[in-house]
A and B are shown apart, each in its own frame.
Chain A
Amino acid sequence: MYALVDCNNFYASCERLFRPDLQGRPIVVLSNNDGCVVARSAEAKRLGIKMAVPLFQVQEQIDRENIAVFSSNYALYGDISARVMTVLEQQAPAIEVYSIDEAFLDLNGLETNFPLVEYGLQLKQRVYQYTGIHVSVGIAPTKTLAKLANHAAKQYPATRGVVDLSDPLRQRRLLGLLPVQEVWGVGRRLSRRLNQQGVSSALALADCDAAWIRSHYSVTLERTVRELNGQPCMALEECPPPRQQILCSRSFARRITEYRDMRSAIAQYCSRAAEKLRQQGGLARVVTVFIRTNPHSQLETFYSHSASRMLSIPSADSRLLSATAHALLQSIWKPGFRYMKAGIMLSDLYPSGSFQPTLFDAPESPAAMRLMQAVDNINRSGRGQVRFASEMLSSGWQMQRNRLSPAYTTRWDQLPVVRA
């Protein structure tokens, strides 16, 4: 038996956690660069604010309805997410953190001595008590059904946020109510194709012949069909496979025309990527840098280029990676363009210590690793930042985050204030 626990309106709920004055007020959270709406509170959803709508299109409604607007505060969401996951870990034999606001719980063995709805309600209550975040819980014999159960728990208030789909009759009743595109793993394109073949509800998909689905679609969809019929095909992934590459890429707040600005941007992305690399205990052998102008502009010629280099031995040393990135940038930079986006990718990753150097390679020096560790520790401490000078050559191209809430839980100088 599996449970899917999903935080309700997670980003908006995090923003409200330390702002009791926002109780009942609609909230939207914006994407990087404050471009469009990426999260909404229940109130904002009720007002009809759509997901991914550009900010300027709803600005008038935001003013009229007094909607609170925030830039994405990933430091805050990440911290609250870790707390939610910790509480869940304490409540289940095994969990898979599926995304920042969702986790699958393995409930095997629990059902025999515990009513599952009761368990779900207690779980929900505990997460709220500990963290201040409301969650919904869907319980079912497969992960795919647990996803749907969770969807139902959110949809129907009478469920009190917990749906137990262990009964096959209930499974079929719910499947009959849901369109096929609500099924986990069925994207828009796939659902269109299924619709054309007369498969429009989740139940219709469940009733398809598994072998026919495999030959006409894919093994993945066949697995989904089996899972909809209560046959578990997907196990809990307790430790997600380490990432195969690390990408750090962003659109600029304003176009970049100067080499100095671009160099600074690439240096910053490189530092961030290297930090991520070290966090997962990895070494990278290939560094890729790419830059591009706006592909949709009618007035300007489009320019996009990338370059890669393979290091002689994999490294997690920011200095080496950064120097490589700089050399790559020099090779693809062309003046006279207005660049919109740039990025860096670290790939061909190895777990630290697993790479066998040849006789002539200098192995990764422990001193360099210690230096990087020290830099990471300082940057994580919240007391200050250590940066490469190349990152500081210029700013201004940086992300726009004009409505960022404080780092309530990760900075001593930004703690929530209480009246005494």
Chain B
Amino acid sequence: MPEMARRGGGGGGGGGGGDARNWDEEGYRKSILRERELHYRTVFRTAFAPSLNPNPETLIVASSDGSLASYSISACISSVTQLMHFNRKIDEKPVPDFLLVEPLSVIQGHKGPAYDLKFYHVGEEYLLLSCGDDGRIRGWKWTEELNSDLSMGMQGNDLKPLLDLVNPQHEGPWGALSPIPENNAIAVNEQEGSIYSAAGDACAYCWDVETRKRKMVFRGHSDYLHCITARKSSNQIITGSEDGTTRIWDCRSGSCTRIIYPEKNRKLKEHSWVSSVAIDSSESWLACGTGSGLSVWSLLSCECIFSSDSCAPVQDLLFQDNQVLTVGSEPVLTRFGIYGVVLSQIKCAPQSAFSVSLHPSGVVAVGGYGGLVDVISEFGSHLCTFCCQGMD
């Protein structure tokens, strides 16, 4: 009942609180389902939309219901501040009640979870690329998406993707086709006009944006890929896989130039994986997030700089100048110095975070379990924390 009272408005006219005469069974059911969905929704990727404003303006969120939603940060801040003290007071509660925020716009990007999104710069335009469990890479015109003034989700589906790439199915004996492998991550290289995808069939694919054709297949990993990043300066890509290795591939030849075992020096027998890879702006440092922590490598000498053992698996990481920001299966954002010193640990809302993204101004967004997004300012304070509403 209290659920009802709280969420009644969103549940489609659940109606007058405890008034049993106009009981809306359907609305109540919906609201319960919604509550559950919301609770188990996961944000897989957050990204700051490109803009000229030095302040972070818009945040795009890809979540487990396949939606791509954009949120205005300033709107979030102003709506969150009213509740900030309230939230702070019940800080000790394991799952604090965070504010549901209405998105600026939302599109149903994928069937099944959307795993990654990237912006692709073409001329004046920005292409919003997303990939997901359905094995597709889709591209939307960012301005169109943003301006599609929609009333909660319905129109979002109408928006036609500019780009739609589907992973190939593997052909077995007697013409049997495998299911379409999912895309776990994408990377872009605008100079080459390429999109790279890390797929669930242990292959990475290179797609040409113009022709929308597959240019290259990178085979070599023995298990599905988690992550991919492009090293534009040397036209290479770096992939991390469930098999516990990071491979560096040459895009021209499609061959693997180096295999890095982030876990190699570890005595542990148990199998680990590479969940995330990132390179710094000079493209000479590589950070790999693994099942047991973080290891940073120099790409020039191919030596491990440091390897940090955190008890929680790292699920996403990125470089900020010469620091590494990591998130993982614990509710903290950890900042490492380049030599492995933990500089700071900022508590963040999601119990397990799958995505960390950085705005040039120093603002960091962390997304994860519970559909929660925590936007952290450059001071380390919480700019705003909200829960994504997603699709209906």
Bound pair (A, B): no
